[in-house]
Every structure is written in structure tokens, then in C-alpha cells.
Chain A
Amino acid sequence: MKILVMCGNGLGSSFMMELNVKKVLKKLGVTAEVDHTDLSSAKTVQADIYVGAKDLMANFKKDNIKRIELENIMDLNEIERQLVAYL
């Protein structure tokens, strides 16, 4: 399974979210490949689940994908809640 996290620059906040997603995966005992990138590049990357801030994901138009849109990008519980629904 591949999870792709995105933000505007693909440098700071997506990276932090990636580290948080990895923490949640570890807690759940699930192995997955997690990566982060910027919004433009994300459209060209194939992944099973796409993760990003809710306001940013409004600009991520891709059909038939699993998306995790976060209200609070620093909230581990929110990541876990939405991630579990897809597992």
C-alpha cells in the first residue's frame, strides 16, 4: 500500500504529516510506503490513499481515489480515525 501526503510546497507540513501518518501506522501495526510531495507533483503520483489539509485538498482534483482530508493537520487522532476507515 502506498500513502501520499501533500502540501503546497511539498517541504514542511506534508513532511510533518508523513511522520505522523507513519506513527499512526506503527501504532496500528500496518506496513505501508509513505511519501510526501507538492500539490502539482501529487497529481502524477500513483498512490492508494492521498492525504492533505482540507482546504488544500479542495484543489486536488483526481477521480476515484481514496482521500484523507484533515481539518487539523497536526492531530494524530484525526489521521487515525480517517485512516482506519480505509484499512
Chain B
Amino acid sequence: MTFLNVIMKDILGTPAILIGLFAFIGLVAQKKESSEVISGTLKTIMGFVVLGAGAGVIVGSLGIFGQMFDHAFGIKGIIPNNESVVALAQKTLGKETALIMVLGMVFNILIAKFTKFKYIFLTGHHTLFMACLISAILSVSGISGVGLVVGGGVLLGTLMVLSPAMLQKYTKEITGTDDLALGHFGSVGYFVSANIGKMFGNKAHSTESINVPKNLSFLRDTSVSISLTMSILFFIVSIFAGKEFVETTVSGGSNFIVFSFLKAIEFAAGVYIVLAGVRMLIAEIVPAFQGIAEKVVPNAKPALDCPSVFPFAPNATIIGFLCSFAAGLISLFLLPLFHLSVIVPGLIPHFFCGATAGVYGNITGGKRGAILGSFVHGMLISFLPALVLPLLEKLGFEGTTFGDADFATVGLLLGNAGKQNSTLIYVVIAILLSIPFILTMIKRDVKKVEAE
């Protein structure tokens, strides 16, 4: 019994070892050399441990920020950062997240195999983030055990197909090929942006025909842009909180400006550590997933991370970032009017997702499409996270939340279903899962009719 206990509780119950085990299986299945199997497995386990270490650093900085923000404005200020939430959640939901992630990949392959939706979602860190959100929302709704893992895995696999699928019409136009797709969980925002572009814009007036200063591209360096925004945010908040308050109750006597600057850099350092952990964590799993998917689904379409579309419309990315960020700033003042928590606009979601929204707005609506589409996108990624926040608060991720549109959309949909009744969640999952199958059958019928 003790032996079984060690397997169930200590091996399968420790997320770092669990995920290492998956990497090991993946490496062996690919018939890698034993040296590669050993180093790959060890690095994957280490990635998970590094992730947890980064969480500690982030929490220290976020706690200070929250304390000063509270004192300065009398409301809660939330920093949307996917890496932070995921790192924090690993303490309570690590095992569930790891299992949902791997099951999600399995279901992604199965759905791609049996429907006409041949997408294989290769953006591993987003798979991990979504697995984390799903495990959080399901456990808050009172689902646990097998139901949580299997229900969550089915849902993740479905989303990994639906998200690239709903954008494919536009992605095809952007890249000029139907062989690639976009695999990024900001897709609701890009879909909205593309549709706004279609309604209000004119695609003949492309953003690429104008001259846009390129010197903002240094912000694509994550460490730089997080340090920069967090410093500005910390300065503003500490000035409003007051020199006296900061120096007597928070900083332990050191100068409030110097202290704020250091805490901002500490946050960026925490994110840097988490990113390094995530990179190690997915480095072996994604190629294994891709290798298996290519064998099982011969005509698979890889769904790739969002910067893949940036080179097709570089101007639209700059315009998209600026408009999305502007919308985030405006939302900062609108949110308290609706009695919602204040979502402090983060440069990372606005830069990466805003830029992508710009590209999708441009393809359907040119300049005006890119501007309006990414502006609405910026509002979405401010309001949706604020709305989903109360649902996640029970888990104690206070101070931070997911940044990209799909996390909040899925969270809202499931969280509100779960509030009514936990079986309703299974119904929602079943409906989502049926979409690719039903659409495949409809297409088949149309083809049959055409053939006759």
C-alpha cells in the first residue's frame, strides 16, 4: 500500500514530476538517444521548479503594489499578467493543470483527426495558461477529480481547434496560404477586430501604405517593456500614495522613488524567471506533440504564436498596439464607474495582442479597420478580465489576472454556468465539443449535394 501511495501521491501528485514523466514518455516515443531523454526530462522538471521560484518574486512585488494602490486610490488595482497567475496557481492547481494540458493535446489531435478542422495548436505556453484557467474555473465551480481533469482536457482540446478555426478565413488572407493558422488565445479579440474592420473600414486603404515610425519595436523585448511600464506605474502609484506613507509603512525607511523603481524591476525579474521556466517546461513537450500530431493527422495545419503574422503588416502592429493601449488607458478611468476592479493596462497584452488585432483589423478594413478594431480590442481586454475577476478571487490570485481575451471569455462563460449549477458546465463543454463535428457533417452533406 505504501508503494501505491508513493506512486499516486508523491509521483503523480507532484506536478513537476508528473510533467517530467510526460516529457520522458514523449522523448522515448520519438526514439531519442538516452542522453537526450535524460537531459530533456530533467530540464522539463527543472522548468516547473523555476516557474515556482519566479512566482515568489512576483508576489513580493505585487503585494507592495497592491498596498500602495489601495492607499492611494481606495480601490483595487489589478495587473493583468498571464505568467504571474499561472505561477501562482501552480501551488494549488499544479497537478490538475499538468494533466489538463496533456489531455488537451490528446483531444486536440483526436478532434483534428476526425473532423475537417485540422488545426494543431503549437503555442505551448498558451496551452499551459489555458489549462491553468480551466482548472481554476472548474475547481471554483465545485468540480474535482476525474471530472475536472477529463472535462477540462476535452474543453482545452476543443478550444485548441476552435480558436484557430474561427480566425482562419482572415489568417488565410493575411498570410496568403491555407497551410498555416494562428494559435493564440487572444482570438476572440482578433475576431472582433476583423469584424469591426469589415463593418467600418475599407481594406483598400491598407496601413502598409503609410509611414509609421518603427522605433517602438524595442518594446517587443519583454524584459525592457515590463521594466519600463512597471516603473512608470510604481512611480505614479507611490507618488499618489505619498512619500510619508510609503517610507513609514512599506519601504522600511528607504526613499520612496528608489524603492518603487527597485520593486518594479523585481516584478520584471519575476516574469523573466517565470518565462525561463515556461520555456524549459514546454521545450520537450511541444516537439513531441507536433511529432505525434504529424503522424496521426497527415494534413495537419500548425497553429502558431501571434508574432507569426506581424511581418505581413508591420505598420498595423504599431498602430494596433497604440490604439489598444489607448483604449486600456481610457478603460482605467471607466472601470470604477461600473464598480469593477481597475485593470492597469499592461504593455505585454496590449503589445502582442493589440498588434495582432491591428493586423486582423487591417486585412478587413485597412487603416480605419486597424484603428477601430484594435481600440475595441483594448476595451475588451480591460473589461473582460475585470468581469472575470470576482469568479477567480476565491482562489486567492488577488492582484493579478489573465491578460488575453480568450482566457477571460472562457472564464466568464464557464464561471457563470458553474454559478448556476456544476452540471451546466458539462453541458457547455459538450456543446463546444460538438461544434467541429456538426460543422464537418454539414460540409460533407453540402459536398454530397454538389456532387449529385
Q: Which positions in A face B, CB cutoff 8 Å?
A: 7-13, 15-16, 19, 36-41, 53-56, 58-59, 70-74
Contact = CB atoms under 8 A, between A and B. Distances in A.
Contacts of B123: 12
A36 B305 CA distance: 14
B222 A38 contact: yes
B305 A11 contact: yes
B390 interface: no
Contact of A71 (B214, B221, B286, B311): B311
Interface in B276-292: 276, 278-279, 282-283, 286-287, 290
B57 interface: no
Which one of A8, A39, A71 has the highest number of Cβ atoms from chain B below 10 Å of its Cβ? Answer: A8
Interface residues of B, number: 37
B223 interface: yes
B226 to A, nearest CB: 11
B435 interface: no
Given A16-B122, A74-B304, A10 B220 contact: no
B175 interface: yes
A31 to B, nearest CB: 13
B13 interface: no
B308 interface: yes
B235 interface: no
10 contacts: A7-B220, A8-B307, A9-B352, A11-B124, A12-B305, A39-B223, A54-B311, A58-B214, A71-B311, A72-B311
Given A11-B275, A38-B275, A74 B175 contact: yes
Contacts of A72: 311-312
B278 A56 contact: no
B311 A11 contact: no
B48 to A, nearest CB: 15
B275 A53 contact: no
A73 B217 contact: no
A11 B214 contact: no
B439 interface: no
Interface in B215-238: 217-218, 220-224
Nearest to B287: A19
B236 to A, nearest CB: 25
B305 A13 contact: yes
Q: Across the A-B interface, give the 5 residue pairs with the lowest CB-CB distance, nearest first.
A: A12-B305, A8-B220, A13-B307, A39-B221, A40-B223
A53 B304 CA distance: 15
Contacts of B352: 8-9
B220 A39 contact: yes
A13 B308 contact: yes
Contacts of B302: 16
